[in-house]
Amino acid sequence: MPELPEVEVSRLGITPHVLDHVVTKVNIHNASMRWPVPDDVYQLQGLKVTSIERRAKYLLLGCERGSVILHLGMSGNLRVVNADEPLKKHDHIEFVLESGKALRLNDARRFGACLWQAPGECHTLLTKLGPEPLTDDFFAERVYEQSRNKKVPVKQFIMDNAVVVGVGNIYANESLFKAGIHPKREAGKVSLKRYQQLVPIIKDTLAAAITQGGTTLKDFAQSDGKPGYFAQQLLVYGRKGEPCVTCKEPLKEIRLGQRSTVFCANCQK
């Protein structure tokens, strides 16, 4: 599943081609996404895209009448192509631009979304989201206070979008390893000192992934079709049974919240 760095890389990739350009036509080739695509999305037609923002894993294409909300789901990707290029299988949503280009949302599994947010409103999907991880609103003391008396494993705690958005499975694995924290440790039993170590590590890990182009995932490609390369530097995720880069002991894998969790039992306590 594309995680926050991949979505941010997509935002950065499409911005030069879409921002300040007029959408001459909106084509909804398949409205049966995770939620039905509302007709309100057609309001973008004939208007200039005045902003392209990311909130958690959602991209918002803003115009004077509101914003189109895009979510890549489990297998989605955005591509900027020539408008006359034939559609690919699973090209469900298309925004044709005055430049002769088109922004297309391709989603084989159709778990992604294309929704609408009216001016001055906040879509229900965005109302309960926590702070962005790369902002000053995400800091150790806040996380520590939220964690008190929480018995949930710390890995699931930092993946909770009410605590902080965008710390998906890959980056939770990586960050906890770097901080030396066992993923099953109860969030409420992690000390302030350890959260003061973990929070900057989460920030640095996500920032590095964005800089390096997002993680290479089976279904993900940047807007130019080139995959990210951060996966080459993953320390634990996807490395079950391989030696720990620190102590050389075999890495272990368990399931937490139905997600693969890889860690070093020797280095993470």
Residue 109 labeled ligand binder: yes
Q: Is 3 a catalytic residue?
A: yes
Instruction: Kindly state the tokens that stand for 259.
Output: 């997600």
Residue 150 labeled ligand binder: yes
Q: Is 185 a catalytic residue?
A: no
Name the active-site residue from 110, 142, 185, 259.
259
Q: Is 184 a catalytic residue?
A: no
Name the active-site residue from 3, 6, 8, 174.
3
- Count of all residues that appear for the chain in the document: 269
Contact 221, 75 (CB under 8 A): no
| Helix 192-211, helix 169-179: angle, nearest 10 | 130
Helix H segments across the chain?
4-18, 140-147, 154-158, 169-179, 192-211
Residue 34 labeled ligand binder: no
Report the alpha-carbon distance of residue 60 to residue 69 in Å, rounded. Answer: 5
Name the active-site residue from 2, 5, 133, 153.
2
| Sheet arrangement for strand 51-55 | 51-55, 58-63, 66-71, 113-117
Q: Is 189 a catalytic residue?
A: no
Contact 30, 87 (CB under 8 A): no
Name the active-site residue from 11, 54, 57, 194.
57
Beta-strand ranges (E) seen in 9-157 are 23-28, 51-55, 58-63, 66-71, 76-82, 91-97, 101-107, 113-117
Instruction: Kindly state the tokens that stand for 11.
Output: 């935002």
What residues are designated binding site for DNA? 90, 109, 150
Which residues are known to be catalytic? 2-3, 57, 259
What residues are designated binding site? 90, 109, 150
